[in-house]
Amino acid sequence: MFPGSFDPPTLGHINIIERSLKLYDRLYVVVADNIAKHCLFTADERVAVLRDIFASSHNIEVVAYDGLMVNFAREHGIGVMIRGVRAVGDFGYEFELAMTNKQMMQDLEVLFMPTDPNYFMLRSSQIKEMAAFGADVSRLVPRQVVELLKTKGDMKIKEN
């Protein structure tokens, strides 16, 4: 499984998903539906856009989940959780998260996949900020996300 917020998905996420499929036959992309974390896009929107991006990949299942990711893993018999790491800063956070998850689920393996150098500066928050100010993000996200961002980006600008 590859869990995350994907608010919105970027080419960095897509790259991790595509590389994960070289290691595993099937992959759950699990969209965290976490009310404590304020997202620009609803879980339904994030799931829909990921499903659209991977419409032709039959070995990827995109689902939303509003509980602990270890519970999702247990419920679906998943043994490996993949997380992407961009820089040393990411590693500290990811390591603590892996320790917490491992404490809750002993037999879960967490795999850290280093980002592709093309995407090491890329994060969802940066995309939202750029889009809100009308910057071109088409080289940083899939075209489906560009379309989705247009509506929300415009809304944000109007609000300000």
156 annotated active-site: no
CB contact at 8 A, 32 and 69: yes
4-63 residues in contact with ligand ADP (CB under 6 A) are: 4-6, 10, 12-13, 16, 32
Among 30, 119, 144, 148, binds ligand ADP (CB under 6 A): 119
Interface with ligand ADP in residues 85-114 (CB under 6 A): 85-86, 90
Measured N-to-C along each axis, helices 143-159 and 124-132 cross at an angle, to the nearest 10 degrees, of: 60
DSSP string computed for 83-147: EEE-SHHHHHHHHHHHHHHHHH-TT-EEEEEEPPGGGTT--HHHHHHHHHTT---TTTS-HHHHH
| 37 counts as catalytic | yes
* 20 annotated among ligand-binding-site residues: no
Annotated binding residue 76: no
Residue among 17, 30, 72, 84 that touches ligand ADP (CB under 6 A)? 84
133: Cα separation from own chain's centroid: 23
Q: Which residues bind ligand ADP (CB under 6 A)?
A: 4-6, 10, 12-13, 16, 32, 83-86, 90, 115, 119, 122-124
Active site residues: 13, 37, 86, 124
